[in-house]
Amino acid sequence: MQGIIRGHRDTIMKLGILFPVAIFIIAVVFLGWFFVGGYAAPGGA
C-alpha cells in the first residue's frame, strides 16, 4: 500500500513539472503561429 502512495506522489511531482512546461511550449507555438500568420502584425488579417 505504501508503495502505491509513493508512486502516486511521484506521478503528481512529474505532472507538477511537466504541466507548466507543456503549457509554456503550447503558448510559444501559438505565439509563433500568430506572428508567422501575420495575425499579430498591425493592419494584418
1-45 pLDDT tens trace: 566 677 788 888 898 999 999 999 999 999 998 888 877 666 655
Distances, alpha carbon 35 to alpha carbons 6, 9, 12, 42, 43, in Å = 44, 39, 34, 11, 13
Q: What is the pLDDT of residue 1?
A: 56
Residue 38 near residue 44 (C-beta atoms within 8 A): yes
Q: What is the pLDDT of residue 28?
A: 96
Q: What is the pLDDT of residue 29?
A: 95
